[in-house]
């Protein structure tokens, strides 16, 4: 099954741990009819074509939900607030228990009128149809203004799942050899005019001036790699393919990542979850959801409020890695497995 957010694929394993329930999974990632694709791509307005394709995917997902005959629960991997008009009535009409996974939908509604209206529409449906539930990641929505919160009885909170087939390179109790160079990494899309450019400068300064033996690693899709990266002192890896992306994360000891507040204040990071699964110590922006990601159920990283804190946090991270290896990561994984999440989604089946 193709997912928009590949880091959620372990949720497909939930069925194994709830034999009493039969769960069907739905994603927006479905092939488009060739005529629709050609038509929308021919439109001079790219945004209009994109919205038409998304609306089709939502309606298609809603219609597919009606085809599930032998299941009692539906899990929806992703939705867009602005495309709920037709899909919500279809999902509600199935009469099945429906879990709708939200990815920053409330965060985006804060800065968009149409997405806010979509959120209000969703809230009304949650109040009318008790079979509809929303899945929030990491923490409750009490950290955002009240008008963007959803009904308490309709919310289920789960941690972002791990990638079960990606594991830390150090086993519990294993430590890095004393003379091992520490690899500090940045992974993702790189643009010099974005804060990530300033972050890379900070990391270059640290690697150059640190008493510890360190290497800077940058993983990014080479098809969109800015030319200036070729001129800096760092080892570059192409992360266009999923397996290469995971391999880079497994090489990195410390991942440093920054997100802009208006997009990630109340939103999980898939990269942080992937990096944690691979054993990276994570240094990330200090927002409520991300803070929870790196500290629950046990600390596997730290957060910063400004770039000036990064140097001292890397020092602390190196000490942590030398003394504790990746032991905490193995504990962190346990409460983020499909088995643990199944108990949160279906508590009555585990009484």
Per-residue model confidence as pLDDT tens digits over 121-140 = 999 999 999 999 999 999 99
d(CA 262, CA 285): 12
- What would the mean pLDDT of 260-267 be, rounded to a whole number? 93
pLDDT at residue 350 in the model: 66
- What would the mean pLDDT of 181-208 be, rounded to a whole number? 87
pLDDT at residue 217 in the model: 97
Q: Measure Cα distances from 240 to 5, 224, 257 in Å.
A: 15, 9, 18
pLDDT at residue 178 in the model: 87
Q: What angle do CA 126, 128, 130 make, to 5 degrees?
A: 65
Round the average pLDDT of the chain to a whole number and report it: 95
pLDDT at residue 351 in the model: 62
Domain positions in the chain are 6-161+336-350, 182-334
Q: Which of 115, 111, 120 is nearest to 149 (CA)?
A: 120
User: What's the CATH superfamily of 182-334?
Assistant: Glycogen Phosphorylase B; (3.40.50.2000)
Torsion region of 315: left, alpha or beta (phi above 0 gives left; psi -120 to 50 gives alpha): alpha
In tens, the pLDDT along 2-57 reads: 888 889 999 999 999 999 999 999 999 989 999 999 999 999 999 999 999 999 99
d(CA 49, CA 38): 10
Confidence of residue 189 (pLDDT cuts 50, 70, 90): confident
Q: Measure Cα distances from 59 to 56, 79, 344 in Å.
A: 5, 11, 29
d(CA 301, CA 329): 10
Tracing tokens 């890695």 back to the chain, one arrives at: 321
In tens, the pLDDT along 89-125 reads: 999 999 999 999 998 999 999 999 999 999 999 999 9
Confidence of residue 305 (pLDDT cuts 50, 70, 90): very high
Q: Measure Cα distances from 167 to 160, 280, 296, 330 in Å.
A: 16, 10, 18, 8
- What would the mean pLDDT of 168-185 be, rounded to a whole number? 95
pLDDT at residue 194 in the model: 63
pLDDT at residue 192 in the model: 59
CB-based burial of residue 231 (10 Å sphere; 0-12 exposed, 13-18 middle, 19+ buried)?
A: exposed
d(CA 26, CA 315): 44
pTM comes to: 0.94
d(CA 249, CA 229): 19
Residue 163 token pair: 């990638």
pLDDT at residue 193 in the model: 57
Lowest mean pLDDT among 63-77, 178-192, 323-337: 178-192
**% of the chain beyond a pLDDT of 90:** 89
Residues contacting 333, CB < 8 A, separation 6+ = 162, 276, 277
> What is residue 24's three-state secondary structure?
strand
In this structure, the dihedral spanned by the alpha carbons of residues 291, 139, 123 and 9, taken in order and rounded to 10 degrees, is: 90
């Amino acid at each position: 099954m193709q997912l928009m957010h590949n880091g959620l694929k372990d949720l497909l394993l939930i069925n194994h741990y709830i034999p009493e329930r039969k769960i069907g999974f739905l994603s927006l990632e479905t092939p488009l009819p060739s005529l629709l694709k050609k038509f929308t791509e021919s439109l001079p307005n790219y945004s209009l074509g994109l919205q038409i394709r998304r609306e089709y995917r939502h309606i298609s997902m809603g219609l597919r939900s009606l085809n599930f005959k032998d299941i009692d629960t539906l899990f929806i991997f992703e939705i867009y607030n602005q495309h709920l008009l037709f899909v919500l009535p279809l999902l509600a009409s199935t009469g099945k228990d429906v879990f709708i996974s939200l990815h920053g939908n409330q965060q985006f509604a804060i800065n968009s009128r149409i997405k806010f209206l979509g959120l209000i529409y969703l809230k009304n449906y949650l109040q009318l149809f008790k079979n509809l539930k929303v899945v929030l990641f990491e923490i409750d929505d009490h950290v955002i203004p009240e008008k963007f919160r959803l009904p308490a009885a309709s919310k289920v909170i789960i941690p972002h799942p791990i990638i079960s087939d990606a594991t830390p390179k150090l086993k519990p109790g294993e430590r890095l050899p004393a003379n091992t160079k520490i690899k500090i990494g940045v992974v993702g899309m790189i643009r010099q005019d974005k804060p990530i450019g300033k972050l890379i400068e900070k990391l270059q300064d640290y690697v150059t001036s640190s008493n510890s033996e360190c290497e800077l690693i940058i993983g990014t899709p080479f098809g969109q790699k800015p030319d200036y990266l070729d001129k800096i002192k760092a080892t570059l890896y192409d992360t266009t393919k999923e397996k290469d992306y995971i391999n880079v994360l497994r090489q990195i000891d410390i991942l440093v990542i920054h997100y802009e507040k208006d997009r990630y204040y109340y939103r999980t990071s898939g990269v942080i979850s992937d990096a944690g699964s691979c054993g990276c110590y994570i240094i990330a922006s200090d927002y409520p959801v991300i803070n929870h990601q790196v500290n629950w159920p046990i600390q596997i990283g730290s957060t910063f409020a400004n770039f000036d804190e990064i140097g001292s946090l890397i020092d602390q991270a190196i000490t942590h890695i030398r003394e504790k290896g990746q032991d905490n990561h193995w504990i962190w994984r346990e409460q983020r497995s499909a088995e643990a999440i199944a108990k949160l989604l279906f508590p009555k089946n585990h009484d």
